[in-house]
Structure formats: C-alpha cells, structure tokens
Amino acid sequence: MTGFFLLALLAGLCFASPAGADDRVDRLPEDHKTWIEEEVIYIITDQEREAFLTLETVDERNRFIEAFWRKRDPNRTTVENEFKIEHYRRIDYANSHLGRETYLPGWKTDRGRYYIILGEPKDLQRYDGFGQIVSIESWFYQGDPELGVPAFFYLLFFKRNNFGEFRLYSPNLDGPQALLTGALSEPGSSNALAVQELGDISPELATASLSYDTAEPPDLISFSPSMSSELMVSRIEDSPKRRIRTDYADAALRYGNRVSADYTFNYIPSRSAFAVLVDPSDTALVQFSIEIDPEDFSTESDEDQTKFYTTLDLTVEARTPDGVLVVANDSEVYIELSPSRMQQVQSRPFAYQDQFPLVPGDYAVSVILRNRVLRRYTVAEAEIHVPDFGADKPELSDVILAYGVETADGGSDQGSVRTFQVGELLVQPAAGDVFAIGDTMHLVTQAFGASTEHKVELALASGDRVHQSVTSPVHANGLVEDQLVLSDLVGGTYELRARLVSPEGNTESERSRSLTVSPRSEVARPGFVYRRGFDSRGPGVLSAIEGEQLVKLGRFEDARIALEEAIAANSRHVPARIMLATLYLRTGNADETLELLAPVEEVLPNQYEVVSGIGLARYVKGEYPTAVDYLARAMTLRPPDALVLNALADAYERIGEPTKARETYERSLQVDPEQAEVRRRLETLPPG
C-alpha cells in the first residue's frame, strides 16, 4: 500500500498540469491568454505567472512579456534573442509534427511538451512494425547537470496497446510489460521476460525500460524499475526555470507603484550595507552603500568613447513601524567616468554611497536607485534603529564590517564629513556583510559618550562558540577600529558581537551584526565608489530637517524647539519659517504666524502654504474679509484640505455670504464626508 501511494504521489508530481484553473486567465485578451496558456506554459515560473496575472493593463502585460524574454536572452549584445527564436521554433515543430495521431495540438502532447522543453534529441530511434512490441520512440539526450538533470538520459514514448497518441512511458507506473504485445503485456507478467524480449530487439530499449538515467545501472537481478526516473522527469520539467532570476517579477509586485511604468520590469539585483553613525555635530546620519554588478550597470558614451556617463535618480524613504513617512527625499546624480575608470566598472561592481540625517527611533528604510540608461532600477531596504546619542548613557553606534579602511584626505572639518567616514577614517563597507575565508575584516564603530578609559570587546561567534575576539581601545573622538583575520573558519553565517565596557567592567552598550563567510577564494569588491555626503554646513540646515521629521512624528513641541533653533541660525530659512508658522497656528498664535510668513510672502506670493497660512492666521484674528481674500486665493493654487475650506466657509458666513458658505461647506464634505459638525452648520444656513 505504501509503495502504491508513493507512486501515485510521484505521478501527480511529474505529470500534473503545469497550471491550474485561474479565472484571471479567462479575463485576459486572447493574445495574452494564448501567451501564458500555450506559448510559455512550460517555461514560465510560478512567480512570473503570478506577477503577470496581477497586472491590470495591456501595456503593463506587454512590458512584462518584453522583460520575460529579455531575462532569457543568452547574448544581449546581439539584436536577436536566440532563446526566444529557438523556443518558438520548437513550438512550431511540435504543432506541425507531433500532434498527428491525436486531436490535440502538438504542443499539448507528451512528445510536444518535452520537445519544447529539451529541444531536438541527440539521437532518436523509432521502433515500429515489430510484432512483439508496440510503437515506441526512444529519445536520447545529453543533459546539463547544473539544471538538475543527468548528463545523459533517455525518454521513451509509446502507444499503449498500439492505439492512439504517443505517451511518455513511466518505468514504475507502466512497467516493461506495457511496451509489449501479446501475453507478456498482461499485468502481473514477468518483468524479467519482458526486459529480455525488449533486449532482443534493442539492448538500449531494454535498459531504458528500467531506468532513464544512463549513469544508473539497471537492476538485472530483480528487474525492478528505478524509482529515480519519475524524479528525473520532474526535474526535466523544472529545468527551464532553474536559472531564471524571478526577482524582476517579485520586484514588480512590490515596487511597481513606486517607479514609473518604463522601469517596472527592469529590476536588477544589488547588495547593500546600512549603518547609523554620528557626525561631529552629534547628529545621527544613516549611511548606505549599494553595489551593482558590472553587467547591470549601464552607461552611455560620446562618439569617441572618451567619456562615459549616466544619470541616477534616487528616492529615499524612512517609515516608522506603524507606517508614518518621516523621510521622503528625491534627488538626481550625474556620473561621468573616464575610459580607465570605465574599465574598472566593467570588471568589478559599482558602488553608490550616500547618507541622510534621521531623528532617534525605529524605521524601515528603503532606497530606490534608478539608472536612466536602459531604465533599470534596484532597491535596498533595511530595518534600522537610531539611538538617542544625546542621552547621558554611553552608546555604541552600528558596527561597520569593512573590507578596507583609509585615512580621509582633507581631514574631518565639521559639516564636511563624507559617507562612511568616522573621524578621519574612511571606511569601505562590505555590502551584504560577505567575506571570503582568509579576508581581513575591519571593524569600525563609535563609542558615543564614552571615555578613553572604556573598552570595546569584539567577538566573532556562532551560537555559543566564540571563534575569535579582540579588545579595542576607545580613542578621544569615540572612534573604535580593529580587525580580525577570517582564517581557520568554514563557510557559513557568523555573528559579530560588540560590547562597550566601562572602566569598572560593566556592560554599557551592545551591538551585533550577522555576516557570511564564503568558501570562495575572493569576494568581488567595487571597482568604483561614488560617494555623496550630506552637507550640514548651511546655518540651520540640521535643525530644520530635525524639526520637519519631528512634525511628521507628531512631536510638535520638540519640533517647535528645533525649528526655532533653525531660524535663529538662519532667519531666511524659508521651509523652517513655513513649518514653524504651521505649528504656531496649531496653538492659535496668529501674530507670530504672520510675523514668520510676512517676509516669505514677499518672495513667494503664490506659495500655497504661505497664502493659506496667512489666511488662517487672519481668520484666527477675526479679520474675516482679509481671511476670505487669502483663503479663496489659496484654493486656486492647489486643491485645499478640509481645514482651509471650513475656515473659508465660516468666514463667508461671518461677512454675510451664506450661499458661498454653503458651497464651500459642501466642497469640504466632498474632501472628508465624516464631518458631523459641518453637516450641522449646513442645516443652519438658509437654502441656496
């Protein structure tokens, strides 16, 4: 019973329909339905199929199909896609030659399926007209073990009882008797006699009837069919999907709404490193490095190829665990490379590095990096914790695992610190925290608020076992730097643990970071690193950014203090003035709001935030005619929110214009229907 159940299970595994019923397929236009149900049914992965069926427009699906074939193009330097051409040739052959014995189209038959998957057999033998056996075709292939199939193997197709279409033979489910005619074909007859009969016609046929894998000798004692043949067939069916990276399809589902349509299916993989460090002004800066492999980094060049260039578009976001968007920055970077630099990029990864300030808290950070050449994009994500480095308790920053360090040229003047710079040390982070056995791993962190009498214990461990450790001093600027040589290790995942120890021997702060030690002899490091850095030298810049982030977090009092500091440092800082004016309005402080916005109005008379802010301040002061002028003008600059609409409607009421008040209240309800007080106000107004 157990053996029968196992065979039935294997049969379901090997010969199940490639795709189950899905009503989303029925809703597709005919050409897209044909594409996914017929043309690529044997080669599309589950992830790609799901991504395709999730798309809603014809244009999106067409772009997906282009990306699908591009991912399978074996040589992108040629105009033709050799894989696609060969695939459709196989379909045409299957339809014209392999469906003649049945009403089914050739691609849907067993022979059609495996011909489309594997192509032309290395050798094909037909056994037809022999009285002792049914019609049989023996297909012999040279396989690719990297795709999970044997180096050499057979497939047999036969006409059961010499009737109907050719079906794939199963050594276990059919057995050698199924290939014979007459008495020996009856169930329960001897396998040994059946194999002997087949051997008289062809020894290869007899061998294949027991096992498809030529490296597996047939059992010539019990003549039991090999259980591995069904598993081999399953791997054959899976082989077209094994080398295909489906991250582009997964990325389309995850990030498709965050990139423009022409980027959606052009995702490229990357590796990244994130760390939180403190600059000389005690501001926490999130550092990140994104590495892209040479084949995925694209540039354009002039006619003489004296320079190579591209433009990168960057989107940085940081959200709290409950989804509050605290950072949303967009920028563009023009990159130009010399021919010698381009040679380095063509053979080794390209690294983009940048940083941005962030107030204390826990965040999910994502960075979308788009390359305008070929419209490719990648995404780096990390969960990060920004400590409150201003607290009294000493604190360790993140530990950076680096493949190299160097002294930064030009020193470390306040405000000019570059990405991944700690004091005067410029760090080269290992993206993905991957090292090779024998590498020197540099360990860099900051002991913020610690004295030179503190120590930092650094340990490389796996579970409870510590493989290496070192105790490092804390320098005067809080810098901690040491190294470990990754020798006497095996490939695998390890953990780097850092512990800040007080002069009394107490643990005051701990950090850990996982890393991978690869058994490879070398890990490819960047040939070119493009570093950007946050320039905090402008007066009030850091305070203004801190204030903006605190506003988004709902910490309004802390935000007010930060924004007042920004304006004290730079009275002409327009964004800080607008944000602080908004905070003053929250507390009804109309006079200070007007004092902040009056100078801004002179240079930005049509800025919505300025016009609406002055209008709301005038409204709070009871200056209703002036408030109406400003608030009505604000509505022409940008679709207003319910707050502006309600203030304008109330001001209309107070100056004796109930019809305009009614119209404005009704518009407010369109913006936010859940306003019971506004509905009550409407009921008190005379009919329009």
CB atoms within 10 A of CB 553: 16
User: What distance in Å separates the CA atoms of residue 508 and residue 393, rounded to the nearest whole number?
Assistant: 7
User: What distance in Å separates the CA atoms of residue 330 and residue 328, rounded to the nearest whole number?
Assistant: 7
Residue 36 DSSP label: I
Structure tokens at 264: 């959606």
User: What distance in Å separates the CA atoms of residue 193 and residue 325, rounded to the nearest whole number?
Assistant: 75
What is the predicted pLDDT for the residue at 686? 83
* List of E strands, 486-543: 492-501, 507-518, 528-531
Between 686 and 531, the higher pLDDT residue: 531
pLDDT digits (tens, 9 = 90+) for 12-38: 334 444 444 578 999 999 999 999 999
Of residues 579, 578, 590, the one with CA closest to residue 616: 590
pLDDT digits (tens, 9 = 90+) for 415-462: 456 899 887 889 999 999 999 999 999 999 999 889 999 999 999 999
Q: Is the pLDDT of residue 6 over 70?
A: no
Q: Output the pTM of the full model.
A: 0.80
Q: What is the dihedral of CA 471, 475, 479, 485, to 10 degrees?
A: -30
Task: Find the distance separating the first CA and the last CA of the chain, reported in whole Å.
Answer: 83
pLDDT digits (tens, 9 = 90+) for 287-326: 999 999 999 999 999 888 899 999 999 999 999 999 999 9
What is the predicted pLDDT for the residue at 131? 83
Beta partners for residue 309, in sequence order: 300, 336
Of residues 534, 537, 528, 544, the one with CA closest to residue 287: 534
User: What distance in Å separates the CA atoms of residue 580 and residue 547, rounded to the nearest whole number?
Assistant: 9
Structure tokens at 354: 């940048």
- Asked whether the beta carbons of 40 and 256 are under 8 A apart, the reply is no
What is the distance of C-alpha 52 from the center of its chain?
Answer: 17
Phi/psi region, residue 11 (left: phi>0; alpha: psi -120 to 50; beta: rest), is alpha
User: What distance in Å separates the CA atoms of residue 184 and residue 190, rounded to the nearest whole number?
Assistant: 7
- Asked whether the beta carbons of 331 and 411 are under 8 A apart, the reply is no
pLDDT digits (tens, 9 = 90+) for 621-639: 999 999 999 999 999 999 8
- Asked whether the beta carbons of 547 and 574 are under 8 A apart, the reply is no
What CATH number is given for 268-531 in this structure? Answer: 2.60.40.2550
- 413: which residues sit within 8 A by CB, 6+ positions away? none
Structure tokens at 431: 């993206």
Q: What is the CATH topology of the domain spanning 541-684?
A: 1.25.40
Among 65-74, 116-125, 174-183, 435-444, the minimum mean pLDDT is found in 174-183
Q: How far is CA 578 from CA 310, 368, 536, 564, 573, in A?
A: 36, 29, 20, 11, 9
Res. 185 pLDDT band, cuts 50 70 90: low
Of residues 635, 637, 577, the one with CA closest to residue 605: 637
Structure tokens at 552: 């988004």
DSSP helix, strand, coil percent of the chain (3-state; round to 5): 40, 25, 35
Between 417 and 284, the higher pLDDT residue: 284
Q: How far is CA 641 from CA 194, 230, 412, 448, 669, in A?
A: 84, 65, 46, 44, 10
What is the predicted pLDDT for the residue at 187? 67
- Asked whether the beta carbons of 569 and 580 are under 8 A apart, the reply is no
Structure tokens at 481: 């730097």
Q: Is the pLDDT of residue 363 over 90?
A: yes
User: What distance in Å separates the CA atoms of residue 7 and residue 227, rounded to the nearest whole number?
Assistant: 9
Res. 688 pLDDT band, cuts 50 70 90: low
- Asked whether the beta carbons of 314 and 369 are under 8 A apart, the reply is yes
For range 617-622, the mean pLDDT:
94
CB atoms within 10 A of CB 126: 10
Give the chain's mean pLDDT.
90
What is the predicted pLDDT for the residue at 19? 46
User: What distance in Å separates the CA atoms of residue 90 and residue 119, rounded to the nearest whole number?
Assistant: 7
Helix (H, G, I), strand (E, B) or coil at 220: coil
pLDDT digits (tens, 9 = 90+) for 193-245: 889 889 899 999 999 999 999 988 887 777 888 888 888 999 999 999 987 88
Beta partners for residue 461, in sequence order: 466, 495
Residue 492 sits at φ, ψ, to 5 deg, of 160, -170
Strand 284-292, strand 271-278: pairing: antiparallel
Mapping DSSP onto H, E and C, the string for 430-465 reads CHHHEEECCCEEEEEEEEECCCCCCEEEEEEEECCE
Q: Is the pLDDT of residue 511 over 60?
A: yes
What is the predicted pLDDT for the residue at 14? 40
- 163: which residues sit within 8 A by CB, 6+ positions away? none
User: What distance in Å separates the CA atoms of residue 681 and residue 651, rounded to the nearest whole number?
Assistant: 13
The radius of gyration of the chain's CA atoms, rounded to the nearest angstrom, is: 35
User: What distance in Å separates the CA atoms of residue 126 and residue 357, rounded to the nearest whole number?
Assistant: 73
Structure tokens at 26: 């029925």
What are the extents of the domains in the chain? 2-242, 268-531, 541-684
Res. 410 pLDDT band, cuts 50 70 90: low
CB atoms within 10 A of CB 676: 7
pLDDT digits (tens, 9 = 90+) for 553-592: 999 999 999 999 999 999 989 999 999 999 999 888 999 9
Strand 167-168, strand 152-158: pairing: antiparallel
What is the predicted pLDDT for the residue at 415? 45
What is the distance of C-alpha 444 from the center of its chain?
Answer: 28
Residue 571 DSSP label: T
CB atoms within 10 A of CB 289: 28
pLDDT digits (tens, 9 = 90+) for 635-653: 999 988 999 999 999 999 9
- Asked whether the beta carbons of 343 and 565 are under 8 A apart, the reply is no
